[in-house]
Structure 1
């Protein structure tokens, strides 16, 4: 329907059709008889490093269909309309506006999916105040010397209760999630900053470059220096 959004989280091959059968499908540009017609499709894409994609994304189905008719998902529909108007207008600042609206669209799409699937673990994680507070604390300062008792005290739960609730919704213990988040943050810094290796190690909570390099290689299959070199060459 007009205004619906379809998200393909892992870039799977797909066909857009007016029937369940993909028989006779042709490339999109060849299938549109009248490009100046009355129907518009807005298509966007993100580049996602699957090695450091957030666990929330891995929990999404192959196809997420979010309707906006009859007042469903009004903020999503508003964002789609804004994006469509921006693409059509081509006014000064167009590129920056489109990128910002695409980011906003993804946020609203994920919110809508979480609201429609309250049984999902990540919905529970983000709507359970202590678990959400623990996630926020770890995200805000991954380099802090976190221990489970410190984190539990921070969110007002016992260690056992926090560990149980956190793992039930995220699929990982708080400390396992922290270890993953630290290295994901390090991968981002290696790709998108010129910070030296020692500074990155300290920023994500490693007291020595050797310990950082060992942990990074275990998760990403290559040393941080090689990861950075590959990112720059790519």
Structure 2
């Protein structure tokens, strides 16, 4: 696995949900803050995004927007004053009873894909944590070709009941998430992790650690694997990533352990071996120090949260 794939995999829960909606005239709808990430793609027409505490964003045809931290927001046909924002219809009521509609040429009509990803925000990878509240990717000729392709495929799949769409749509939504992150990282205003993954030494070290986190790594062994001196690796890695290589490895091993506790019934001894700890006791001690709770309590809490969360509505 590469760093971006791992960063997504460790926080992703269940399957994403999505709706294809078509509206015209004067309208507004509110999406409450959410323990995940929301997204919108404008397929036709234009509208406005009004994030809580942020400036309005004009969205045109083909624009994609991701709200990676689940920021509450309103989408509307025009910018709204405070009273207009307060009167926006909750999204769940707004789409209730709506199904795919045939194409229309009505003036002022807007067609969108709207959806959510369920994420476990308790252990965000720094790459995910540094994303801004709103990632807006305008539709420009020649830009983000992979993202444009997956948007087109999503529009087709959500336009009607097609054989295999129950598998195709979640897979395309996962691709959409990846391509949005790639596109954002390719932009000049992307955060520190764009520089990290663009640095040959730091990126190579991260690939090695993520490919085999349970190996008995030392800074010297990692430097030899990457092909640089130990001081060079320690300096460049620490400067770009914000912590030394072995400190990052410890954090990543414990993050993987938390994911396995959440997603599998494996006993602690098995998980300890998978993430590079010699004994369950060693893992339990390190886990409690990092997360402030024991592995057993963490697993029980994850199961309790999962049982009380309603599953997302699939389109």
TM-score norm. by structure 1 comes to 0.91
Could you say which structure has the greater relative contact order, defined with CA pairs below 8 angstroms and 6 or more residues apart? 2
* 1:149 positional shift: 0.6
8 A Cα contact 1:4 1:67, kept in partner: yes
Q: Could you tell me how far apart the structure 2 residues matched to 1:77 and 1:91 are?
A: 21
Deviating more after overlay: 147-156 vs 167-176: 167-176
Unaligned runs of 5+ in 1: none
Deviations 1:52-72 (A, max 9, x none): 211101111111101123222
- What does residue 143 of structure 1 align with? 214
Q: Which residue, 35, 49, 61 being the options, matches 1:2?
A: 61
Alpha carbons of 1:158 and 1:118: their partners in 2 closer, same or farther (altered >3 Å)? farther
Alpha carbons of 1:176 and 1:23: their partners in 2 closer, same or farther (altered >3 Å)? farther
**Between Structure 1 and Structure 2, how many residues are aligned?**
232
Q: Could you tell me how far apart the structure 2 residues matched to 1:170 and 1:20 are?
A: 41
* 1:129 positional shift: 2.2
- What does residue 276 of structure 2 align with? 205
Deviations 1:75-131 (A, max 9, x none): 211111111111113222212111111111111101111110366321122122222
Q: Could you tell me how far apart the structure 2 residues matched to 1:232 and 1:93 are?
A: 30
Q: Where do 4+ consecutive residues of structure 1 move more than 6 Å?
A: none
8 A Cα contact 1:51 1:220, kept in partner: no
Local SS of the residue matching 2:116: coil
- What does residue 164 of structure 1 align with? 235
Unaligned runs of 5+ in 2: 1-59, 307-315
* 1:22 positional shift: 5.0
- What does residue 15 of structure 1 align with? 74
Q: Could you tell me how far apart the structure 1 residues matched to 2:80 and 2:244 are?
A: 41
Local SS of the residue matching 1:44: strand
Alignment of 1:24 with 2:24, yes or no, is: no
* 1:15 positional shift: 2.1
| Residue pairs, 1:105-120, within 5 angstroms | 105-117=176-188, 120=191
* 1:31 positional shift: 6.9
- What does residue 222 of structure 1 align with? 293
Local SS of the residue matching 1:46: strand
Q: Could you tell me how far apart the structure 2 residues matched to 1:146 and 1:122 are?
A: 23
8 A Cα contact 1:2 1:69, kept in partner: no
* 1:137 positional shift: 1.0
Q: Which residue, 109, 119, 126 being the options, matches 2:197?
A: 126
Q: Could you tell me how far apart the structure 1 residues matched to 2:89 and 2:70 are?
A: 16
- What does residue 127 of structure 2 align with? 56
Local SS of the residue matching 2:136: strand
Local SS of the residue matching 1:131: helix
Which structure has the highest strand share of the two?
Answer: 2
Deviations 1:185-225 (A, max 9, x none): 11111111121101101111111211211111122221111
Local SS of the residue matching 1:15: strand
C-alpha root-mean-square deviation of aligned residues, in Å? 2.0
